[in-house]
Amino acid sequence: MKDRMTLLIAVLAIALTIAACGGTATTTPTPTAQPAMAAETEAPAVQPATEPSPTEAPANEESVASACEEFFGFCVTAEIDGSVISTGTGGFGSSFNNDCAAWAAGGETRILELPTTLAAGDDKITVALTRIGAYTGPGQYELAAVAASGNPDSFPAIEVAGRTFSKGEGSTTLVTVAADGSGSLQATGLVELASMTVSSPDPDARIDFSMQWTCQEEK
């Protein structure tokens, strides 16, 4: 009887040992998932190219109204330097039936009356009748107050800013006329004269005067 009990106890001990071994079976650890690494660095977003803003064109300057509308026969610009400094532009005569080439054409000696200005510019430049007494065609003419024969020349008399200037001792005037009717006048050393507004002119006052003109035909 004792042997059977001993055997039973041994069997139970073996069974418990087997059960204990089975319950402590090693558990295989589950690998921790690692974050996936980007295969390549993401390229920065491409920004659309910015076109440079077009430079704004400067505003067109307002046209200055011409003092020589096309109905004038001549467009004249006068400039004065010296005791008075001034400039002005104006029209003279009519372009109706104006023939510039005929006006300047050569031929028999004749008087050629030059274009003038009337109250041109801020100082109201006015040029009195100026003429070549013995005109024979395009070219240069030095005006002379006294002529040995024929008609004498007429020097320019200029009113500007209420003062009057014309030929005096040492004054010279050179006129150039082109075949197309354009031309110029250069006068130096013009002296001040008594006038309605200046009873006692300045004896030392002098001006140089230049005048350019173009001839215009009817359009």
The torsion angles phi and psi of 191, rounded to 5 degrees, stand at -105, 160
pLDDT band for 145, please (50, 70, 90 cuts). confident
- The answer to whether the Cα torsion of 64, 65, 69, 74 is positive or negative is negative
How confident is the model over 152-162, as pLDDT tens digits? 999 999 999 99
| Residue 163: inside a domain | yes
Work out the average pLDDT over 194-208: 95
| Residue 87: inside a domain | yes
Per-residue pLDDT at 2 exceeds 50: no
| Residue 15: inside a domain | no
Domain extent, residue 132, equals 72-215
- The answer to whether the Cα torsion of 179, 153, 186, 173 is positive or negative is positive
How confident is the model over 77-105, as pLDDT tens digits? 999 999 999 999 999 999 999 999 999 99
Per-residue pLDDT at 209 exceeds 70: yes
Give residue 184's pLDDT: 98
C-alpha–C-alpha distance, residues 197 and 194, integer Å: 8
| Residue 53: inside a domain | no
Average pLDDT, the chain: 79
Give residue 148's pLDDT: 72
| Residue 206: inside a domain | yes
Share of the chain above pLDDT 90, in %: 62
| Residue 24: inside a domain | no
Q: Which of 20, 200, 213 is nearest to 117 (CA)?
A: 213
| Residue 137: inside a domain | yes
Work out the average pLDDT over 189-216: 96
| Residue 48: inside a domain | no
How confident is the model over 16-61, as pLDDT tens digits? 444 444 444 444 444 444 444 444 445 445 444 444 343 333 333 3
**Contact, 185 vs 74, CB < 8 A?**
no
Give residue 67's pLDDT: 65
How many domains in the chain? 1
**Strand (E) positions, 121-205?**
126-127, 131-135, 139-142, 158-160, 163-166, 172-177, 183-193
How confident is the model over 146-186, as pLDDT tens digits? 777 778 999 999 999 999 999 999 999 999 999 999 999 99
Q: Give the pTM.
A: 0.68
How confident is the model over 102-115, as pLDDT tens digits? 999 999 999 999 99
Give residue 218's pLDDT: 85
**How far, in Å, are 45, 116, 138, 185, 210 from residue 213 at the CA level?**
69, 9, 14, 9, 10
